[in-house]
Amino acid sequence: MDVTANGVSTRVDTDPERPLLWVLRNEFGLTGAKYGCGEGQCGACTVLIDGVAHRSCITAVGSVAGRAITTIEGLADGEKLHPVQQAFLDADAMQCGYCTPGMILQSVALLRKNAAPSEAEIRQHMEGNICRCGTYNRIVAAIQDASRAMLTDAKEHEHA
């Protein structure tokens, strides 16, 4: 089957039931997606599939053939970080960083469907992503900052 990660399509010869997480990490060397619980309960392995956040530990690789997968490695635009990545850095929204790729991709998915979420909407959307270091408040602040930055950017583009 062909698996497309971060815009690059690669032929993969593997059991279609194998979790996407292991194909990304072991075949593609995309180790940004982390193994936490392996049961869809922590969000450490989150990736985007056609722009929607999915837990790659419980996603069979056979189900994503031909779909666009984005991992944390594919989020920046060349040297320019994605606004959510930048906001996490600026807000210091990480401690050990293990949950961070999943948190960022989960946030990107949120802002894609709701450009200006309320704090309650952010907390609800991020509920399934666990941070063992307890940086939740800074994560929420980072998402709010990213939302503002992206809206300002969109407005500037409109008027350019």
Binding site for ligand FES (CB under 6 A): 35-38, 40-45, 55, 57, 94-99, 131-133, 135
Q: For residues 55 and 82, which CB has a smaller minimum distance to ligand FES in the complex?
A: 55
- 8-state DSSP, 110: H
Cross-sheet strand order for the sheet of 2-5? 8-11, 2-5, 68-70, 46-49, 52-55
CB of 129 to ligand FES, least distance (A): 9
CB of 85 to ligand FES, least distance (A): 14
Torsional sign, CA 21, 25, 31, 37:
positive
Cα–Cα distance between 49 and 46 in angstroms, integer? Answer: 10
Considering the complex, what minimum distance in angstroms separates the CB of residue 92 from ligand FES?
Answer: 10
Is the Cβ of residue 112 or residue 132 nearer to ligand FES in the bound state? 132
Nearer to ligand FES, 52 or 116 (CB): 52
Rounded to a whole number of angstroms, the minimum distance from the CB of residue 154 to ligand FES is 29
Q: Cα 109 vs. chain centroid, distance in angstroms?
A: 7
